[in-house]
Chain A
């Protein structure tokens, strides 16, 4: 890895993204009231809050493990992009809080671009 900058870049991007999703998943288990408000109201009307949090946290944990694994990373990056984009779009009124997610979104985009050429 020392003589392969792209591989090192990929590693750091994957770890950064994975840590974000893992922290959010764990924190939502510990402090659900702090996280449930980020889900759109129409979704909360369809699915009970506890189940919604459980499903999304489980998905985040799986996504973080996928990112750690380095297997088919371009698809993990695309899932990360979709997840972050949906969080940002549904929480534009809370930009004071989610502005960091915009930066993390571009990390996911960078990861996808980095691995897109390898996919080809």
Chain B
């Protein structure tokens, strides 16, 4: 009986320790501020011929813009094939908030360099993570430089998933 009590106490201690570790490892609370609503980018079909020639330094020539709409049934289109250097805009066309981010929920680390913990740092602009809920009609854009097949999801509704294939 004494052994049982000891083991139970030991398990409680371990659990409390895990809880404290998770407290230390959890990202700080994120302040959600009103983001300015950018002009939605025009919907560009994948086979569209014209390419944007960007003259500013540091932006790839020939990159295209794509749009994924978030509706009450999820991401549309849920699978999108783009070229490296293309930009994808996620536009919330639903009445509830959505938060597009790289897989895996809730750490968002599948896309190279991405991590939800970076949302409260200066690196938030270069990770595949909106870092905050998008309200109705709000949008967020990300430029995909890494080639591969990148799964993503809605952090506020992990059942909504999608894939962006970067060639």
Contact = CB atoms under 8 A, between A and B. Distances in A.
Interface in B26-56: 26-27, 30
Contacts of A30: 22-23, 26
Interface residues of A, number: 27
Contacts of B23: 26, 30
B7 interface: yes
B86 to A, nearest CB: 25
Interface in B116-167: 133, 151, 153-161
A66 interface: no
A64 B18 CA distance: 14
Contacts, number: 73
Contacts of B14: 19
Contact of A91 (B4, B133, B158): B158
A34 B106 contact: yes
A58 to B, nearest CB: 15
B22 A23 contact: yes
Given A34-B105, A37-B156, A91-B158, A11 B15 contact: no
Interface string A10-54: 010001001100110011001101101110010000000000000
Mostly, the A contact residues are helix
Contacts of A15: 11
Contacts of B159: 37, 91, 93-94
Given A34-B106, A96-B103, A68 B22 contact: no
Contacts of A34: 105-106, 155
A2, A31, A70 — which one has the most chain B CB atoms within 10 A of its CB?
A31
B21 to A, nearest CB: 10
Contact of A38 (B3, B8, B22, B158): B158
Given A27-B26, A34-B155, 9 more contacts: A2-B3, A26-B19, A26-B22, A36-B156, A37-B156, A68-B8, A94-B158, A96-B103, A96-B161
Interface of A: 1-2, 7, 11, 15, 18-19, 22-23, 26-27, 30-31, 33-34, 36-38, 41, 64, 68, 70, 91, 93-94, 96-97
